[in-house]
A and B are shown apart, each in its own frame.
Chain A
Amino acid sequence: IILSQSEDTQQQIIRETFHLVSKRDENVCNFLEGGLLIGGSDNKLIYRHYATLYFVFCVDSSESELGILDLIQVFVETLDKCFENVCELDLIFHVDKVHNILAEMVMGGMVLETNMNEIVTQIDAQNKLEKSEAGLAGAPARAVSAVKNMNLPEIPRNINIGDISIKVPNLPSFK
């Protein structure tokens, strides 16, 4: 999330970005030049479109455009590995996990790691740590959570992913 800005501005940025990105055709380039909202002309929006999801990164001129496109690819592949065939619902219900994965790739707006195997290793290790901490106490909670999910057939299958999807990926700002 863009640092030191009020929730209102954040929302405005997300709305604006979604508005800009979603109306673009499939076969146009994946770069959008910065408006005032995202910090002026030095900044660019770089996005990738996967089915109903848009992954949008806002970067300044110190990043390579094509590099960021690759990074988004790495991010998505990592999500895929961590969630085992990721789908949009995974991202919606596990925002915290998405954040944690992203934190291993981008830190404070700077690219931390680009090697997918390394990222997955670290995430797995952290998950293991979490499990061991939960230990005995965690087991019943997990069971309940599983039951909750099973008993809820009303999980909508086709959702208007538009405004939600954008909220997930528009996190990093390369500042």
Chain B
Amino acid sequence: MALKMVKGSIDRMFDKNLQDLVRGIRNHKEDEAKYISQCIDEIKQELKQDNIAVKANAVCKLTYLQMLGYDISWAAFNIIEVMSASKFTFKRIGYLAASQCFHEGTDVIMLTTNQIRKDLSSPSQYDTGVALTGLSCFVTPDLARDLANDIMTLMSHTKPYIRKKAVLIMYKVFLKYPESLRPAFPRLKEKLEDPDPGVQSAAVNVICELARRNPKNYLSLAPLFFKLMTSSTNNWVLIKIIKLFGALTPLEPRLGKKLIEPLTNLIHSTSAMSLLYECVNTVIAVLISLSSGMPNHSASIQLCVQKLRILIEDSDQNLKYLGLLAMSKILRTHPKSVQAHKDLVLQCLDDKDESIRLRALDLLYGMVSKKNLVEIVKKLMSHVDKAEGTTYRDELLTKIIDICSQCNYQHITNFQWYISVLVELTRLEGTRHGHLIAAQMLDVAIRVKAIRKFAVSQMSALLDSAHLVASSTQRNGICEVLYAAAWICGEFSEHLQEPHQTLEAMLRPKVTTLPGHIQAVYVQNVVKLYASILQQKEQAAEPEAAQDVTQLMVDRLPQFVQSADLEVQERASCILQLVKHIQKLQAKDVPVAEEVSALFAGELNPVAPKAQKKVPVPEGLDLDAWINEPPSDSESEDEKPKAIFHEEEPRPAKPRQLEADEEELARRREARKQEQANNPFYIKSSPSPQKRYQDMPGVEHIPVVQIDLSVPLKVPGMPVSDQYVKLEEERRHRQRLEKDRKKKKKKDKEKKGKPRRHSSLHTESDEDIAPAQQVDIVTEEMPENALPSDEDDKDPNDPYRALDIDLDKPLADSEKLPVQKHRNTDTSKSPEKEDVPVVEKKVRKPKKKEKKHREKGREKREKGKEQKEGEDLDFWLSATPLPAAAPAPEEPGVNAVIAASKEEGEEPGREERGAEEDEEDERDPEKKSSKRKKKQHKKEKEERSKDKKKSKKKKPPSDEAAEPVENGALDEDPLPPMSSYCLLAENSYIKMTYDIQGSLQKDSQVTVSVVLENQSSSFLKSMELNVLDSLNTKLARPEGSSVHDGVPVPFQLPPGISNEAQFVFTIQSIVMAQKLKGTLSFIAKNDEGSTHEKLDFKLHFSCTSYLVTTPCYSDAFAKLLESGDLSMSSIKVDGISMSFQNLLAKICFHHHFSVVERVDSCASMYSRSIQGHHVCLLVKKGEKSVSVDGKCSDSTLLSNVLEEMRATLAKC
């Protein structure tokens, strides 16, 4: 036997192995393809042999060839053969090949299912490992479904090597088979706390990957991750977690508040750049998620910016790049702090690395202000000149335009300068962005009325030099600019200095080489120009000149009539006819200018691109309904041809008719205007304030510089923007002088106080610069009641959407992972039957119903828990008082509180897991149990059913009746949104709402969270809260302060901002409700000065606020009731219309109870006070009334709680 093997291997040794193949390929450089095809033939021969070693060698070589780009899918079946080899050596080769070349379309892949399953359960950990690795590369939906359960078992393997691979591959399984996520999630969560760091890191990896796509489902894991973050030392794990938090904070700003401190600590302490960078990144995300402008975070921002500056200044280009990247994120919310580093960014623009230059460009976008725009753009322009490579240059160009046009041209003070920049940009050759420049020119010319004169002069110059532009760069898109130039010159032709010259420029033969759509615009605008020249000439009584112009038109237009472009041709021939007609009229000395210009009467208003879409559909209008019944076929046949004939007839235009047409046109236009004025849905041309303003005769107020004198407008040539830079500087200088003078004279400035855009937002230095033109930028029009919402459609093909699964919902039976089943699963029926409680005599009850029933029960219980878990998150998030807010004397520090509340948060989670696993265990053996074990099972079952009986005793008799009601409950109306915050006090400055929370860890303390909302336009600061302590309840004040001192609120409130402060109160007895009088004092500062203000309030500590939602199982609940230590009391409230479901939810939410059990319209509930009183309720709903029976270890507390509940219920 051994001899045979040796012989076999000696045969083999002369086969080519991988090394030989590689060597061979390298030696056959010149005829590589031929050599490889020869090798492939050899490989095919080898694959036909029976010897697995030969096959494996062949597959190994194939893998290499695949890497070189050869298709090896034909060998898929051989690969599977090698995968199923018993030796690890071959198996590994097989799996490697599979992972390289298998994909979803590989049809033999389904043959692997059983082989993989076998390998997964192999006793050798490396067999399992190699199978997992391979599977991770080629898992398909089918494989994922069939193997999910096996992999899930492996997650609890004894060897960490397997565990970590199994955990990691689950992500791939989830992607392919999203149904597996919910059943597998509890175990995945468990792995977050695996003792092995590798497994833990894998679990963090998977959850981070999941959470990145659908963060909201993973919010409840925040406490757990927080703990990991503060305890882990593995930088990989830390980075992942910190990145995850970055994704979570936008959903829950309170989380951000909690994170800031540990993150800043990490930033200070870590030496790993990667970790530091991620921390900074997440802090930025936190700061973005928190309401901007909160002054108490400026320190964090400063820290970030400072650290980033260090990164950017580093000689390591990688750090520089990342620093800039992160900086741009800060920029979005805190531009001020970044602007200080302008020097640095400009420096990076000169970097030789394109990636860095691009990032720096991004940053520049947010750094510009009125003051530095000109300077920055100048710098960019110089880069444009220098830039090699069109990509970077194009990028520069778009950035210049972006920077200048951002926020409605907010930063541009001198539009002459901007136009000249645009014109200068047209000199760029080979740019793709001609249309961008054109769009800007059009936009500015239309919206900034004051600039039109200047714009027209520049554009006519452009048109004049059009032969340059057109000939050299026609194919490069820069000729798009002529589109804008032609249109502007035509539309605003009244501003033209030399209209005749421009007209000639536009009629040059060269123009016909332009793209069609530009020619079309030329043709159209030639007429506008022509109209205005006619008008001019007629007014000046120069009929010959007018006729000359007409002649020019008649001479030149035919070149367009011959155009291959339909649009051009049509327009040109139409206009040619018109002009010829005019010529005839002119010959008869009929004045025509009036009528010709009437063709283009009326002002164009800029309309927002989305305006049409946003016009609301008027009520009662069905857009899909027929306006007229669709005509029958016969009708249309009869009438249509006639109509066509009728229309065609007058085409050979007779002079009279045409003029009539023009009159008709004017009349119609008038009628339409009238109609539009009466039509409420038509966008009228005066609703926006800016519009009204532009009509004001404001021009004489402005300190306009007589620029026109110094600009050689008449010289056709390119303007140089530098000129305008200088002019602008001079202007500003003069302005400053003037201002200084005025200041000296102490003149009343209000006379000059013309309305300025954004005046309140700018810094003083910005405001100093008054715009050179009256920049009445006309806002784009929108329909009046258009909604601003931009619903972005999500990509329906996004594979991650399938994983948007609520993980907190309890598992249903149907959600089990498919388990490989054998025939004998029928046996599982018998234990199932015995499970039926003996109380019910109907043994023949269908199994399905039974199952459903149990499911319901579990759902009920877990619903309670889940709800509570959600609240725990809330609690975890809000429990920590802001460090400065409540430095209670005896408090052991913030960290302790975090720890305590965290424990609180986890416990129920673990319990839930426990419960679930129990249930799983319960179910699994049922399925798999063989008859031998049956007896043992019976015993267990009996015990369990006894338990069940016990708990069932308390339920009202009819179980069956319960079911339909429960089903009905699912359809009930959704819960109305509830808030536990109620109004504390309010005046014109500030609104206070509050909520009180207790904690089971502190038996004599509650935390009062007060949300302060600034309702005024003043800045509120130095806020201080004080209450008159009672014997029983005292405000925890900072150490060393007397009972009369207030507690400062640790933040200030800019107008319109709200924030939450927390105060700790100590309490002795909690059986009675209590009210404390208090005052909030603050300083309100506005333009006129600052005033001291006060707001009195009464803080109501209800007994409910001392209760803490605590879960209770029905058996414990029963014991509690049976113990007899509790005193009893009850209330009844009539006139309740709310559904029972919502009623219970309300009690749970407002009074901190949890549902123990619910049957029909009857529920038992439980809660616990911070001092350990048990409160048990039985809530029953009658026809229109609700009765609540309560039992509690303290009768006073009970009666008070019930009274408060009565008040709540009365509102239902």
Which A residues are closer than 8 A to B by beta carbons?
1, 3-5, 7-8, 10-11, 25, 27-33, 62, 64-67, 69-70, 92-96, 99-100, 103, 107-115, 118, 122, 125-126, 129-130, 133-134, 136-138, 140-141, 144-145, 148-149, 152, 154-156, 159, 167
Residues 90-143 of B at the A interface (beta carbon under 8 Å): 92-93, 96, 99-100, 103-105, 124, 126, 129-130, 132-133, 136-139
B132 CB → nearest A CB, Å: 7
Q: Which of B66, B133, B205 contacts A111 (CB 8 A)?
A: B205
Alpha-carbon distance A155/B23, docked complex (angstroms): 8
Verify if B1043 is at the interface (C-beta below 8 Å from A). no
Alpha-carbon distance A123/B320, docked complex (angstroms): 37
Q: When the two chains form their complex, are residues B318 and A66 in contact, meaning their CB atoms are under 8 A apart? A: yes
Q: When the two chains form their complex, are residues B89 and A133 in contact, meaning their CB atoms are under 8 A apart? A: yes
Q: When the two chains form their complex, are residues A136 and B352 in contact, meaning their CB atoms are under 8 A apart? A: no
Q: When the two chains form their complex, are residues B165 and A8 in contact, meaning their CB atoms are under 8 A apart? A: no
Alpha-carbon distance A33/B239, docked complex (angstroms): 21
Q: When the two chains form their complex, are residues A4 and B103 in contact, meaning their CB atoms are under 8 A apart? A: yes
Alpha-carbon distance A138/B136, docked complex (angstroms): 30
Verify if B978 is at the interface (C-beta below 8 Å from A). no
Q: Which residues of B contact A130 (CB under 8 A)?
A: 88-89, 92
**7 smallest beta-carbon distances between A and B, as pairs:** A108-B136, A66-B274, A29-B317, A28-B353, A4-B103, A11-B69, A29-B321
B58 CB → nearest A CB, Å: 13
Q: Which of A3, A27, A95, A115 contacts B64 (CB 8 A)?
A: A95
CB-CB under 8 A for A8 and B69, given A27-B317, A141-B13: yes
CB-CB under 8 A for A114 and B320, given A3-B103, A64-B278, A129-B88: no
Alpha-carbon distance A1/B60, docked complex (angstroms): 16
Alpha-carbon distance A69/B235, docked complex (angstroms): 14
Q: Which residues of B contact A167 (CB under 8 A)?
A: 67-68
Q: When the two chains form their complex, are residues B60 and A108 in contact, meaning their CB atoms are under 8 A apart? A: no
Q: Which residues of B contact A111 (CB under 8 A)?
A: 205, 236
Q: Which residues of A contact B168 (CB under 8 A)?
A: 107-108, 110, 112
A-B contact pairs, 18 of them (CB 8 A): A3-B137, A29-B318, A29-B321, A33-B358, A64-B277, A65-B274, A66-B274, A67-B235, A96-B18, A110-B171, A110-B206, A114-B201, A114-B236, A129-B126, A130-B89, A144-B13, A145-B13, A148-B19
Q: Which residues of B contact A94 (CB under 8 A)?
A: 18-19
The CB with the most chain B CB atoms within 10 A, among A25, A93, A108, is that of A108
Alpha-carbon distance A96/B94, docked complex (angstroms): 11
Which residue of chain B has its CB nearest to the CB of A46? B318
Q: When the two chains form their complex, are residues B136 and A66 in contact, meaning their CB atoms are under 8 A apart? A: no
Which residue of chain A has its CB nearest to the CB of B68? A167
Which B residues are closer than 8 A to A by beta carbons?
2, 5-6, 8-10, 12-14, 17-20, 22-23, 26-27, 60, 63-64, 66-71, 87-89, 92-93, 96, 99-100, 103-105, 124, 126, 129-130, 132-133, 136-139, 161, 164-165, 168-169, 171-172, 197-198, 201-202, 205-206, 208-209, 212, 235-236, 239, 243, 273-274, 277-278, 317-318, 320-322, 352-356, 358
B36 CB → nearest A CB, Å: 13
A90 CB → nearest B CB, Å: 11
CB-CB under 8 A for A149 and B19, given A64-B243, A64-B277: yes
A126 CB → nearest B CB, Å: 5
Q: Which residues of A contact B129 (CB under 8 A)?
A: 122
Q: Which of B17, B88, B164, B201 contacts A126 (CB 8 A)?
A: B88
Q: When the two chains form their complex, are residues B169 and A28 in contact, meaning their CB atoms are under 8 A apart? A: no
Q: When the two chains form their complex, are residues A93 and B19 in contact, meaning their CB atoms are under 8 A apart? A: yes
Q: Which of B87, B197, B212, B352 contacts A28 (CB 8 A)?
A: B352
Which residue of chain B has its CB nearest to the CB of A125? B126
Q: When the two chains form their complex, are residues B96 and A100 in contact, meaning their CB atoms are under 8 A apart? A: yes
CB-CB under 8 A for A66 and B164, given A33-B355, A129-B88, A137-B8: no
Q: When the two chains form their complex, are residues A30 and B318 in contact, meaning their CB atoms are under 8 A apart? A: yes
Q: When the two chains form their complex, are residues A126 and B236 in contact, meaning their CB atoms are under 8 A apart? A: no
Alpha-carbon distance A95/B441, docked complex (angstroms): 58
Alpha-carbon distance A145/B9, docked complex (angstroms): 12
Alpha-carbon distance A168/B103, docked complex (angstroms): 20
Alpha-carbon distance A131/B33, docked complex (angstroms): 35
Alpha-carbon distance A159/B108, docked complex (angstroms): 39
Q: When the two chains form their complex, are residues B92 and A100 in contact, meaning their CB atoms are under 8 A apart? A: yes
Q: Which residues of B contact A95 (CB under 8 A)?
A: 18, 22, 63-64, 67
Q: When the two chains form their complex, are residues B318 and A31 in contact, meaning their CB atoms are under 8 A apart? A: yes
Which residue of chain A has its CB nearest to the CB of B235? A67
Q: When the two chains form their complex, are residues A64 and B274 in contact, meaning their CB atoms are under 8 A apart? A: yes
Which residue of chain B has its CB nearest to the CB of A156? B26
Which residue of chain B has its CB nearest to the CB of A136? B2
Which residue of chain A has its CB nearest to the CB of B67? A167
Alpha-carbon distance A7/B72, docked complex (angstroms): 9
Q: When the two chains form their complex, are residues A152 and B23 in contact, meaning their CB atoms are under 8 A apart? A: yes
Q: When the two chains form their complex, are residues A108 and B274 in contact, meaning their CB atoms are under 8 A apart? A: no
A72 CB → nearest B CB, Å: 12
Alpha-carbon distance A72/B960, docked complex (angstroms): 64
Q: Which residues of A contact B354 (CB under 8 A)?
A: 28
Q: Which of B17, B71, B96 contacts A145 (CB 8 A)?
A: B17
Alpha-carbon distance A31/B359, docked complex (angstroms): 12
Q: Which residues of B contact A138 (CB under 8 A)?
A: 9
Alpha-carbon distance A154/B24, docked complex (angstroms): 11
Q: When the two chains form their complex, are residues A140 and B10 in contact, meaning their CB atoms are under 8 A apart? A: yes
Q: Which of A28, A145, A154 contacts B27 (CB 8 A)?
A: A154
Alpha-carbon distance A33/B355, docked complex (angstroms): 8
Alpha-carbon distance A138/B10, docked complex (angstroms): 10
Q: When the two chains form their complex, are residues A107 and B165 in contact, meaning their CB atoms are under 8 A apart? A: yes
A175 CB → nearest B CB, Å: 9
Q: When the two chains form their complex, are residues A7 and B5 in contact, meaning their CB atoms are under 8 A apart? A: no
Q: Which of A4, A30, A122, A141 contacts B9 (CB 8 A)?
A: A141
Q: Which residues of B contact A122 (CB under 8 A)?
A: 129, 161
Which residue of chain A has its CB nearest to the CB of B278? A64
Which residue of chain A has its CB nearest to the CB of B70? A7
A148 CB → nearest B CB, Å: 7
A58 CB → nearest B CB, Å: 15
Q: Which residues of A contact B317 (CB under 8 A)?
A: 27-30
Q: Which residues of B contact A112 (CB under 8 A)?
A: 164-165, 168, 198, 202
Alpha-carbon distance A28/B13, docked complex (angstroms): 48
CB-CB under 8 A for A7 and B71, given A64-B274, A122-B161, A130-B89: yes
Alpha-carbon distance A75/B567, docked complex (angstroms): 63
Alpha-carbon distance A10/B663, docked complex (angstroms): 68
A105 CB → nearest B CB, Å: 11
Q: When the two chains form their complex, are residues B321 and A31 in contact, meaning their CB atoms are under 8 A apart? A: yes
Q: Which residues of A contact B165 (CB under 8 A)?
A: 107, 112
For the complex with contacts A66-B273, A129-B88, 10 further pairs of A-B residues with Cβ separation under 8 Å are A29-B317, A31-B321, A67-B274, A96-B64, A108-B169, A110-B205, A113-B164, A145-B17, A148-B20, A154-B27
Alpha-carbon distance A30/B322, docked complex (angstroms): 10
B127 CB → nearest A CB, Å: 10
The CB with the most chain B CB atoms within 10 A, among A10, A113, A155, is that of A113
Q: When the two chains form their complex, are residues B208 and A136 in contact, meaning their CB atoms are under 8 A apart? A: no
Q: Which residues of A contact B20 (CB under 8 A)?
A: 148
Alpha-carbon distance A93/B87, docked complex (angstroms): 23
B433 CB → nearest A CB, Å: 20
Q: When the two chains form their complex, are residues A10 and B13 in contact, meaning their CB atoms are under 8 A apart? A: no
B159 CB → nearest A CB, Å: 11
Alpha-carbon distance A114/B273, docked complex (angstroms): 17
Alpha-carbon distance A10/B6, docked complex (angstroms): 40
Q: Which residues of A contact B274 (CB under 8 A)?
A: 64-67, 69-70
Q: Which residues of A contact B17 (CB under 8 A)?
A: 145
Q: Which residues of A contact B124 (CB under 8 A)?
A: 129
A134 CB → nearest B CB, Å: 7
Alpha-carbon distance A155/B1012, docked complex (angstroms): 78
Which residue of chain A has its CB nearest to the CB of B160? A118
Which residue of chain B has its CB nearest to the CB of A10? B69
Q: When the two chains form their complex, are residues A137 and B198 in contact, meaning their CB atoms are under 8 A apart? A: no
Q: Which residues of B contact A137 (CB under 8 A)?
A: 5-6, 8-9
B470 CB → nearest A CB, Å: 33
Alpha-carbon distance A149/B355, docked complex (angstroms): 45
Q: Which of B5, B68, B171 contacts A136 (CB 8 A)?
A: B5
